[in-house]
Structure 1
């Protein structure tokens, strides 16, 4: 708990239900302020007159809404539209299919919808809007072609919407948007304190810093993987939670208790729109100018997105890439880069160094992506945040991805990566516990590397090939990171884990040309190769000199350096 640095008089008294007039007063106030005053939320967008393929057209006839499904190519909407983020659940509810397409075009009643959809219709009309987009009613659910087409443009659907209504607190579509509130639970405690600046006692309040993270980010809806891009891409989000309404846009976060602004101590983390470092939030396009050249910042943005995303649930595991496509499309323009199987080309080879949460993740039982991509993993993934101080130890010669169709989200059927680097053979003993295994070289006594398996069962192999991907300095100590590989029958390799090396082991794992000169050649030859190492990164002179000094400390090894090879990882 923390004492918020603002007066308790800034607090608002809550109503007893989020459908009340008091709650709605806050919602309309946030919307009005955002539309009229927020520069970042109202930036011009390409394709101003863009609408989804289908929308629900709502007419309020004698307080009895009449709803029709329209095709926007045939019936041009006359205004903005709202989107709905919801958790499907397991109960049956109305969906758009090939069979009922004509029927829904003809119109249907509010009573045909589950409670969450009904409430969304009411909210849309309250906002003065006549168009609503709901995924299950605007995408033909039993058409692979229609689903693929519509899923590929999710970035546009949510980004062009006026606002996204989020059924954040609802377990499924039967729960509805509105909920009763308990002021005794969520109202912050008031505390009288002496204010030295003014010389008098004032009433402050005590708040929980994890308030937003627990009430919003920990709510049922946020466990759904598709929602990650829905929340990130929407310019405005109105959350309907179990305790109160919450608002977030590019410039403001608020709730009914704190309608003017959420306290800084609460918003210090855990918010979707704070998923990137301050001043580099991915929606603040002016602030992102030049981000493609700031690799550390870019990797942190991607790391936080993927950590959120891989922690969430997918009803269909095959949607792993598709449910992220909207974010990827938007970031490709921001990063000035292309994404291949979840990896940014300009950030390779370092992005190969992702790790799994040691307790929750394993490779997928179904083929979804090549083993070198984190998309092949079910569970929490931590991507590698490279810096300008990382030096690559391999060269990527080619990447080939084969898909089942022409769409960028068509299922991946095969993927290979050809790279050049130095392979070494290591062994270990399987101790049957989740801690890292100790990898040993057969031809270098006293050397040990730390290895982490992507799957517990891989421990039983007790041997593997390794290839070092990166070398860097950590508090002045030379280190390296790389991949654990299993050789396939056809001579290709697949990833089974990753490893970390230190000191002499890092030097030992360098490529043949560098290894041969650095370890066994004279001083002038070593300097020539070390200089070529730093040529790709002129800003790292101090760190480069430290690496050079540490490399030259090691005595020449009696064993020959590894041969540099071109290998294929699938």
Structure 2
């Protein structure tokens, strides 16, 4: 029974025998002490304490979480530290279902049961979740699909009618042949032939109707795709469309528009192997519970097709309530809950916007943030860091949408920051520039990332000092890296961008200019043919090396040392480090940290960590390191800054124990 302890006594020999004839409890008890009880003690009795436990809810979340999901706890009495826990679940019709709230996975997600669960989640969210906004009467988007009769959908011009609507977030795919055009919009206003509607959109129409809703917004049909004027108008409102939606259907598992979302989900095969135990209920009945013996259920969040697309990020983040059609489950996400609709054992997390942006006016937000302390502002800055990192890892069909597809998110952050962050300039914030400029391009040296460096796009996306100018995941420096002893060592003199459309202050830009006054350091010639993030030792050539290099053949150069790769014995490899004439264009050289070099040829002057934003090599002699921040770490002074000009060269460099007294005005 839930919460009650049961003392169980058994010998190791009886456990082994019971396990052999299929006793579930014997198998679980043996797993708890396996390898600990010696053979000579097989006849000695062991005492176990068994308890079905569940922590109290710490929030309004109604679904199970790693803390609140019911668990079977097994503890040997004589070894109190040796505790084993298993998550439990049971069928909704079982007598134990009143105590055990978790369920097996839901396979038929187009069933009456699935829609009932979804409606129950929605009702509970709207009625009980203080962190979730209540639906408001807002004007419908310019056009919606009328789903009153799902077999005869039609496009509807709304004229600002007040009504709730659903929105769809999905991956178009490469074949999006049936969309609204200037040539067919009049026809679609009468009716849309379901045979031309992609399967995913057909399924979304079905879901809208079965949830008792009438209107659905889908970009492919609600925006005139060959009208530049209409696209610009509607794209500028995309963020607000998802923000105001009653519910957003996220076709997470669909790789393209014809994949659909309502297919039955396969039950993972390991569920068939889970053992069962009898459960004595409070009302005297005996039910059955299943024991999840596979560790933490679905603790790792699976990346779905929508998680690779940039537009889908904004659509999901700005929506207050989401119905997620995932590969293995039907999930409900809001500002409070992240659960499967039927309480199956599945949980995780997702980056989300601050709760204040939902349901509050700008004046109300301004009043709330006026009460914030430094910790609150720090959390908001960390939310920005995580948001940029997630978004930048995603792909765009039209690369020039880099800022446009993020505009709605930036606008919501601006509602929170207001004047404290200043103007939004191509992905950065005017009053945070000294830190925002120090973004890093995450490179492929992190095996889990699988995100190699890309050449800079041929088409202009943003100024080179903006993270939006490159492809691939970037890491904006979080504020927690900086302490009270760290100081800005540059002055931002001017920062401006030219917007393509003045009506879209968070959208596409055509030019940018940044002027700063800061200390400068010559960019080193890097004596290593690799553009992954590396720790380097900064060195300068001695007079002996300068003399010898003038007489060496250009193709030969002078061997100055060797770098030994990680490993021992036969697994260790070494590479010669050679200085050639072209390296001497720079006043400074850089060798990979731990390089063994000749003191008579090179003199160490400091250390550096250099990160590149593209696979191209640097151009010493034509660029400078510009100091932005000075950091004090255990009495070692570091300087962090940029390499300018930034046209495919290293983007970010931390320099230790090396400085230059010259100050210059830099324009890039």
The residue number in structure 2 matching 1:96 is 180
Does structure 1 retain, via aligned residues, the 8 Å contact 2:323–2:331?
A: yes
How many corresponding residue pairs?
Answer: 485
Q: CA deviation at 1:167?
A: 0.7
**Does residue 1:111 correspond to 2:230, yes or no?**
no
Q: CA deviation at 1:101?
A: 1.8
The residue number in structure 1 matching 2:350 is 271
Distance 1:105 1:281, change over 3 A: same
How many Å separate the matches in 2 of 1:299 and 1:188? 45
**Does residue 1:393 correspond to 2:489, yes or no?**
yes
State the secondary structure of the residue aligned to 1:325: helix
Of residues 437, 443, 453 in structure 2, which corresponds to 1:361?
453
How many Å separate the matches in 2 of 1:495 and 1:460? 7
The residue number in structure 1 matching 2:283 is none
Distance 1:345 1:460, change over 3 A: closer
Of residues 33, 55, 61 in structure 1, which corresponds to 2:144?
55
User: Any unmatched runs of 5+ in structure 1?
Assistant: 196-200, 488-492, 510-560
The residue number in structure 2 matching 1:406 is 502
State the secondary structure of the residue aligned to 1:501: strand
Of residues 631, 653, 659 in structure 2, which corresponds to 1:499?
653
How many Å separate the matches in 1 of 2:297 and 2:227? 42
User: Any unmatched runs of 5+ in structure 2?
Assistant: 1-65, 72-87, 89-99, 280-287, 445-451, 541-586, 589-602
CA offset digits 1:399-419 (Å, max 9, x no partner) = 121133333255322110111
Of residues 160, 175, 178 in structure 1, which corresponds to 2:259?
175
CA offset digits 1:146-178 (Å, max 9, x no partner) = 222211122210111100001111111111111
Does structure 1 retain, via aligned residues, the 8 Å contact 2:439–2:476?
A: yes
Q: CA deviation at 1:204?
A: 5.2
The residue number in structure 2 matching 1:424 is 521
User: Which has the greater radius of gyration?
Assistant: 2
State the secondary structure of the residue aligned to 2:523: strand
Which residues of 2 match residues 67-466 of structure 1 at below 5 A?
A: 67-73=153-159, 76-77=160-161, 79-185=163-269, 187=271, 205-206=292-293, 209=296, 211=298, 213-215=300-302, 218-256=303-341, 258=343, 266-267=347-348, 270-273=349-352, 294-336=376-418, 337=421, 338-359=423-444, 360-362=452-454, 363-386=456-479, 387=482, 389=484, 390-408=486-504, 411-433=508-530, 434-436=532-534, 438-440=537-539, 442=587, 446-459=605-618, 461=620, 464-466=623-625
More helix by percentage: 1
CA offset digits 1:281-328 (Å, max 9, x no partner) = 865977866569555323211111111111111111111000000101
Distance 1:384 1:500, change over 3 A: same
The residue number in structure 2 matching 1:522 is none
TM-score, scaled relative to structure 2: 0.66
How many Å separate the matches in 2 of 1:167 and 1:208? 28
The residue number in structure 2 matching 1:66 is 152
Distance 1:296 1:307, change over 3 A: same
Does structure 2 retain, via aligned residues, the 8 Å contact 1:180–1:243?
A: no
Q: CA deviation at 1:120?
A: 0.7
Q: CA deviation at 1:185?
A: 3.5
TM-score, scaled relative to structure 1: 0.77
How many Å separate the matches in 2 of 1:78 and 1:446? 68
Higher normalized contact order (CA 8 Å, seq sep 6+, divided by chain length): 1
Distance 1:36 1:3, change over 3 A: closer
How many Å separate the matches in 1 of 2:193 and 2:440? 50
How many Å separate the matches in 1 of 2:123 and 2:648? 54
